[in-house]
Amino acid sequence: MKTLRRNALSGYSWLMLVFLYLPILILVLYSFNDSRINATWTGFTWKWYVSLFENRQVMQALMNSLTIGVISSVIATVLGTAAALAVKHYSLRWSNIFNGLMYLPIVIPEIMMGLAMLVLFSQVQMELGKVTLILAHVTFSMPYVMVIISGRLADMGKELEEASQDLGATPWETLRYVTLPLIMPGIIAGFLMAFTLSLDDFIISFFVAGPNSTTLPLYIYGLVKRGVSPEVNALSTLLIVSTVLLVVVAEVFRRKDSKNNQSIF
């Protein structure tokens, strides 16, 4: 009876995994399908990938995505690290208020954040484009960086910093030679996370992108709205593969000699 129940539960859970992954796998599979319109499998082909790389708009969108991703995640990582360090040293009450504000963008519906950004940029009369995209991406990815690094800082404890100060290091030296090296895996994980979020974001970018700053997800949206084409499958597959790789690498860095292996997901 007990094993029967256990088997049923295990079977169900595997079924759920199939439910989660099957659509994604089918999408990937069909990006190699020779047929243009039908779901019938007519043979393996690379041609949709080839036509992607020959498509100037796609390459432009890719460049935009990468530029915005790198710049925004560098800024988000620097600010997020600073914020995590600051919160650790502030009094408990201020830290709580600050933390609450930081988590707000994670909890609030993304559409609201996109709208809020759009309204803000239009009120200060900023032209929509790469700069507004970068600012928006920094805003939504910074909290995630902060959460990762705060976790890392909490693991670390105070002993090593105190020891370094007892040995006569200035606060700056302690930060440079003790704290930062210790939280480095967290910083790298935070950077990768911010980069993934930026590369992948659609909803917020949708509101704050200008006509010349189309990113990959925005380009995919355009294709999807125009109807199903195998190029979308190919482009989506590339986005899926890079997202999964980045998330896994980030997770590896985050877990690196970290005491508690609790996932931040």
* Binding stretches for another protein (CB under 8 A): 2, 5, 9-10, 12-13, 16-17, 19-21, 23-24, 26-27, 30, 37-40, 79, 83, 98, 100-102, 104-105, 107-113, 115-120, 123, 139, 142-143, 196, 200, 202-203, 206-207, 217, 220-221, 224, 228, 232-233, 236, 239-240, 243-244, 247-248, 251, 261, 263, 265
Cβ-based nearer residue to another protein, 117 or 178: 117
Closest contact distance (angstroms) between CB of 95 and another protein is 13
Cβ-based nearer residue to another protein, 59 or 104: 104
Closest contact distance (angstroms) between CB of 51 and another protein is 18
Closest contact distance (angstroms) between CB of 80 and another protein is 9
**DSSP codes of every residue in 196-248:** HHHHH--HHHHHH--TT---HHHHHHHHHHH---HHHHHHHHHHHHHHHHHHH
Closest contact distance (angstroms) between CB of 174 and another protein is 25
Cβ-based nearer residue to another protein, 30 or 153: 30
Q: Which residue has the tokens 């404890």?
A: 157
Cβ-based nearer residue to another protein, 59 or 106: 106
For residues 101 and 55, give the distance between their C-alpha atoms in angstroms, rounded to a whole number. Answer: 42
Closest contact distance (angstroms) between CB of 180 and another protein is 21
Cβ-based nearer residue to another protein, 84 or 187: 84
Cβ-based nearer residue to another protein, 23 or 43: 23
Closest contact distance (angstroms) between CB of 250 and another protein is 10
Closest contact distance (angstroms) between CB of 94 and another protein is 12
Cβ-based nearer residue to another protein, 178 or 197: 197
Question: Is-contact 85 95, C-beta < 8 A?
Answer: no
